[in-house]
Every structure is written in C-alpha cells, then in structure tokens.
Amino acid sequence: MRHLTLLSGVDPAHPLDALFVNAPLRDYTERPRTNDYTLPVLGMAYIATYAKHAGFNVAVLDAEAYGLGIAETAKIVNDVRPRWVGMNLLAPTYEMSARIAAQLDPGIAVMVGGHHAKALPTRILADPRMRNVRALVIGEGELRVAALLEDEQRRRELPQVMWRDPLLGTTGTGVADAKTQALMLGPDINALPYIDRVFLPQDPYRAAPSVTDRRLAASRCAAWLTDAARHGHVEANIVGSRGCPYNCGFCGAAWSANPDVKIRVRSPENIIGELDALHAAHGVTAFRFVDDLFLGVREVIYEHMQAFTDHRIGDRYVWDATGRINILDRLRDEDLDILVANGLREVALGIESGSDRMLKAMDKRINADMTERVTRRLLERGIGVKGYFILGYPGETREDLDATVRHIRNLWDIADHNPGGIRASVFEFRPYPGTPVWKTLTDAGHDPDALLAYGDVDLTQDGAHESMRQRDEFNFSVGIQFGDVPLHEIRSTLAMLTREQHERNQAGGLGVAA
C-alpha cells in the first residue's frame, strides 16, 4: 500500500503502462534530506498527462520529493512492475538514475530523456547499467512517448529516438519524413492538455506569506490578497513557452545546444485558461512562470499583458516570472507599471556576475550597470527580485569575484531604500554537457569524466548550512578550480553571501532564499 501512495496519478485497478521516475539528488538512505520542498517535474508531468489522455495508465514516482533512497526506489518499481519505466536524465542526478536502472528487473523496458540524454546519448547507451534502455528520446517527448507506449516497434519511425542492440552492440535511430519530424519534435504547445496536477505531489502547494504579499495587500486592498498576506497563497508552477533565443555559456537551454528546438510561446488565452482552471480546481492564486521567455521578449510581454489587463488578472492573481535583464531594460516606465497592475510580484534574473568581463565571457548581453538600473526600477515599484549569481566561472579572477560581491551588496543597499526586496541565490559553477562552455572546457583538455563527477558542496565549515538554503537542488560541484581563485575561497565567499542573505531574510521576514 505504501508503494501505491507514492505513485502519483496511478489507477490501481488496471495494469500500469508506464511509471515515470524522477531520481533523487542523493541516496537519502545515506543522508536524510534537510529541505521540505522540491521543484516540480513539469516536463515529466506534461508527458504523463499526454499519455493519460491517450488512454494509458501512467504514474509518476518523484523520488526526490519523497526523499527516497536508491534501493527503495528500485524496489518500488520492481514491485509494481510497469511495462515501461521512464527516467529524466540530468547531469547532477545521472549517477542516481543509472544506479536505479541497474537494479530494475530486466523484464521492465526503460526509456530515458532529458538534457543529459540529449547531450551524451551514445555514452548513456553504452553504460552497462543502462542495459534495459529500449528508447532514448531526444527533445520534447509527449508524442513520441505515447507512440512507444502504443507499440515499441514504432521507435524505428520516430525521429530522434535511439536504442542499442544488445546482441550486435550497434546503435539505431528512428527515421521519419520531414512533416512527421516537425510534428514530433515541436508539438503545438497550445494543443497540449494542461498538466494534470495529480502527477505532481508538491504542486500546487501552500506557500508562507511574504513581505511582498503583505505589501501588495496593503496597496491593492483586495480581500483575497489580504487573506493571502495572513495565510499565504496556494501557488503553482507553470510554463508559458518552450525554447530560448539566447546562448548563455553555462545553460543547457542555449540555442546553440538545441538547434532542433523551435521556439514557441503559448497564446495568452491558453495560459489564462490554465490559470483559471488551477484556481477553480485547487484555489491557486499565485503562479510562477519558470520558462525563459515570459518576460524575455518585448512583443510577448506586450501581447500577454494586454490579455492580462482585459481579463483583470491583477485583480485576481499574483505571479512571478523569469526575466531577461536586457529586455526589461528596454521597457518604458509605463510598461513596468502595467506589469505591476497585472499582478507581477517577483522577477528572477540571471545576473550571474558583477564583472562586465565575466558577463561577456558568459555571453549574457548585459553589464553590471544595466543590472543595477533594471533592479532599481523593479524595486521602486515594489516588484521583488530574485538574483542568480555564479562564482568560479572559467577565467574568473579575484578582481572579478570581488566585483560580484560588491555588486550583490550594492543591490541589497538599493533594496533597503525601496519597497521591493531582493534575494541573492549564489552558486558555485559546475559544467553541464551540451552547454557552450562544456565544449570550451573539453577542447582545452578537461577530462569529461572529471567534469561529470558531481558531488555535494559542504558549506558547514564556513559557517553556512543547508537549512539556510532550504532548497539544495543545485548545490553541487565537480571539485575543479576553473578560474584564478582557489576553490576553498570560492566556497568561503559563497557561504558568506549565503549567510548574509539568510540574515537579511530573517530580519526582513522574506522567508528563505532558494
């Protein structure tokens, strides 16, 4: 019975066609987790939802959300014995996924996908622990996964689906005509069903009230906002687009790493329909857009904000989104005011560094002055900012690192004099296969095996601890010094900034930065 309670979306009355497994970040039998929130696996939920609509009995086992160990995860899969197991392969969790796959009953077919599968398909198919893989799906999987569940032999006609012949040791790849390939690799995202939240054990969720919520309640005098200020919003994560036109050196979504991905944005009506559906079904009043483009293209912003205004979204909901600094810098003051009126609560910005030299090396198309200008304009309007920063990027000097520390403290000072707040999330650089910087590093002679040796970052010796961060999804390192500053100094700086942000959160009631 415990197994069934962990399988999100399963119909226990019928055989299980597929179980999609999100591997844990660590083997939690060795060290229990400290945080109680994980990012929802939206991509996996999209695939499960589409398969369910196609008539298949599918479920999701989010081993990370439940803090499961490797052996327990494999045992659950073997006990429920689905026809297929699907796994999303990510660089930091690949080893966990491979160890789970190695323990699965050979009678269970395995399909894999995700950024890591796309970046290193032949390496994965050659891994003896992945011997049960019968389909490696590169790119967006909804249509092709459903086709595989219907008939495994269809893999020969499915584009960008690979497999390894266990007898001959050769690799096969599906072939399709141009029309089928375009449809399969870039489905119409407005035609896809909304994510069935039954597949997400921690989304929607009740979030603790923040200073931003209380400020919004005071300024807008809306009853539902006042209630949210007291008790917190019911929040949900949502995707508004797929693909990215930018080429940040460290990012797996960079356009140079994804030439097959057609950039698509959901229509305003389609997005608003999902907002209203989530509100009706779950009482959701706060949304987080986690894709790159919602506040990353001016034309998209104008189109969506007009629709949000027409539907009075700002009177009913609040929302957060990722944003591009260079795009926000070009918006007029009245454009930012419209965003506020339409419910914008916080923007996540990839600030990354306070050094213009490093920002150029990352191909960010921004500079520190631009970041300061955009942050100030947002904070003046009460819009919160969540800034991401990378320490230890290849080529970083001590002067570059010091510039980033000064930049963060300068942004904190700006926040102290404005209605909006800022949260600084600081991470140590780690390379991901398939990113532009990965090729730079391997061309320079770095061993791919060493670049893939992800391990925990232990900040406790520097006075920080994981409970300060609450979410440690990205708290990994490969233990290599890529810039001029020694690794222990990078981590000491990271711990210092994390501790200072934590203290600011506690003093200002902002919760925990993540």
Give residue-wise pLDDT tens across range 235-262: 999 999 998 888 898 888 888 888 888 8
What is the CA angle 282-285-289, rounded to 5? Answer: 100
- Return all residues near 333 (Cβ < 8 A) that are at least 6 apart: 377
pLDDT band at 214; cut points 50, 70, 90: low
What mean pLDDT do residues 57-72 have? 95
| Residue 432 Cα distances to 45, 161, 244, 449, angstroms | 23, 22, 17, 12
pLDDT band at 219; cut points 50, 70, 90: low
What mean pLDDT do residues 36-42 have? 82
Give me the pLDDT at residue 262, please. Answer: 84
Q: Which residue has the higher pLDDT, 469 or 352?
A: 352
Q: With a cut of 90, say whether residue 225 has pLDDT above it.
A: no
Give residue-wise pLDDT tens across range 467-483: 555 544 456 789 999 99
Give residue-wise pLDDT tens across range 418-443: 999 999 999 999 999 999 999 999 99
Checking phi first, is residue 19 left (phi over 0); if not, alpha (psi -120 to 50) or beta? beta
Q: With a cut of 60, say whether residue 510 has pLDDT above it.
A: no
What mean pLDDT do residues 65-75 have? 95
Report the alpha-carbon distance of residue 37 to residue 66 in Å, rounded. Answer: 10
State the average pLDDT for the chain: 90
Report the alpha-carbon distance of residue 417 to residue 415 in Å, rounded. Answer: 5
What mean pLDDT do residues 376-381 have? 97
- Return all residues near 188 (Cβ < 8 A) that are at least 6 apart: 264
Domains along the chain with CATH numbers: 2-185 (3.40.50.280), 204-508 (3.80.30.20)
Contact 148, 161 (CB under 8 A): yes
Cis amide bond preceding 448, omega within 30: no
| Residue 139 Cα distances to 25, 155, 346, 452, angstroms | 22, 14, 30, 21
Give me the pLDDT at residue 257, please. Answer: 80
Give me the pLDDT at residue 261, please. Answer: 80
Alpha helices in 367-397 (DSSP H): 368-380
Contact 476, 457 (CB under 8 A): yes
Q: What percent of the chain has pLDDT over 70?
A: 89
- Return all residues near 2 (Cβ < 8 A) that are at least 6 apart: none
Q: With a cut of 60, say whether residue 218 has pLDDT above it.
A: no
CB atoms within 10 A of CB 137: 27
Global confidence as pTM: 0.92
Closest by CA to 203, choosing from 171, 228, 238, is 238
**Two tokens, residue 16:** 């299980």
Q: Which residue has the higher pLDDT, 512 or 211?
A: 211
What mean pLDDT do residues 356-370 have? 97
Closest by CA to 482, choosing from 433, 444, 435, 426, is 444
Q: With a cut of 80, say whether residue 461 has pLDDT above it.
A: no
Give residue-wise pLDDT tens across range 285-336: 999 999 877 898 899 999 999 999 999 999 999 999 999 999 999 999 999 9
What mean pLDDT do residues 208-221 have? 58
CB atoms within 10 A of CB 288: 19
Contact 255, 246 (CB under 8 A): yes
Contact 468, 498 (CB under 8 A): yes
Query: Which residues partner with 321 through β-bridges?
Result: 289, 347
Give me the pLDDT at residue 433, please. Answer: 95
Query: Which residues partner with 205 through β-bridges?
Result: 235
Report the alpha-carbon distance of residue 119 to residue 102 in Å, rounded. Answer: 21
Count of CA atoms in the C-beta half-sphere (13 A) of 341: 14
Give me the pLDDT at residue 509, please. Answer: 43
Contact 159, 176 (CB under 8 A): yes
| Ramachandran angles phi, psi of 428, nearest 5° | -80, 140
Report the alpha-carbon distance of residue 411 to residue 373 in Å, rounded. Answer: 10
- The two beta strands, 171-173 and 161-164, are antiparallel
Give me the pLDDT at residue 511, please. Answer: 36
Give me the pLDDT at residue 213, please. Answer: 58
- Return all residues near 114 (Cβ < 8 A) that are at least 6 apart: 43, 87, 88, 89, 90
Helix (H, G, I), strand (E, B) or coil at 485: coil
CB atoms within 10 A of CB 310: 10
CB atoms within 10 A of CB 177: 9
- Return all residues near 396 (Cβ < 8 A) that are at least 6 apart: 353, 355, 358, 482, 483, 484, 485
**Two tokens, residue 22:** 């999100």
Give me the pLDDT at residue 358, please. Answer: 97
Report the alpha-carbon distance of residue 374 to residue 422 in Å, rounded. Answer: 12
Closest by CA to 226, choosing from 125, 318, 326, is 318
